[in-house]
Amino acid sequence: MLTESQLQGIYVPVVTPFLANEEIDFAAYERYLMNLLSHDIDGLVINGTTAEAPTVTWDEVAEIVRLTSKLLRDTGKQLPLVIGTGTNDTRSTIMRTEQAAQLGADAVLVVTPYYSRPSQAGILQHFERAASVGIPVIAYEVPARTGIRVEADTMRKILEIDGVIGLKDSSGDLRLIRQLMESGCSKPILCGEDAGFYEMLGSGAKGGILASANLRTSDFMDVYRAYQAGDTARAEATFQSLSPLIGLLFKESNPTPLKWMLARQGLINSDAVRLPMTGISEGLRARLCGFHE
Ligand SMILES: O=C(O)C1=N[C@H](C(=O)O)C[C@H](O)C1
């Protein structure tokens, strides 16, 4: 089980490679994951936004988790495995959280319940119930996707729940992390808004869950490690060198640009996504072509 103090560094959210018939391409996933594991990353996130959680079934998630655990065992790597279990329904979130625990997850990622637009009290209870399952919970605030904003005071209360070990903050600005730090929050906050990673480190983030770190992984690690070592000049310069790529990866909905780049580099076989996601535009392709690892 993941502890608060272990929730730091660069956690990479994995993609779900598909075949042309939209089935999961497990062989490609294996190749892609082995490459990722050759880097010194701090953790993996399965079934995040980057994995296309809305269109991947729970049975498929379970298969991906089993394969990932096997590859971790085979390579002797001991990396924390975080599984996304949050939905907009508290009961199904609890069920998935229980199943994630059975699958051997070290923690679960629970997104703010989207679509229903619950009250702040409802959001708090949602996290209380998820945490009551007994596996560590990382709260995930991503208002651009959920359509609802968790108030700083509610988030403070969520982070005070026993069993909630930290926050992935994809709110898109520094207000939430600053308010939480000012209120004395001691639980780790990880950046989930790639373009703001360096600034969030400066505001107290303990690392990031960053889709872009699937590419130029060593450079992302370098930003984090240099920052931790006090070499902010190096961290900032390396991050600046990553910024144009990050900008393009989020020009269209994540993970479609990322999958296109991974396929281009031969790390997965195809950039296929499941509808309603569609492939990237010709214009973005042309711009991404300019990037080489
Ligand atoms: O899958 C994730 O975890 C992430 N999703 C975010 C998003 O697509 O909104 C981006 C972040 O890099 C990680």
Ligand 1 centre to CA of 231 (Å) is 27
Question: Hey, which of 45, 108, 209, 248 would you mutate to test ligand 1's pocket, going by the most ligand atoms within 8 Å of its Cβ?
Answer: 209
pLDDT in tens, 90-148: 999 999 999 999 999 999 999 999 999 999 999 999 999 999 999 999 999 999 999 99
pLDDT in tens, 238-273: 999 999 999 999 999 999 999 999 999 999 999 999
Point out the catalytic residue in the list 11, 32, 140, 198: 140
ipTM > 0.90? yes
Q: What is the pLDDT of residue 293?
A: 53
Q: What is the pLDDT of residue 185?
A: 94
Residue pointed to by tokens 């991503």: 142
- Distance between CA atoms of residues 194 and 75, nearest Å: 28
Residue 70 catalytic? no
CATH of domain 4-235: 3.20.20.70
pLDDT in tens, 201-211: 999 999 999 99
Over its C-alpha atoms, the chain yields an Rg (Å, rounded) of: 18
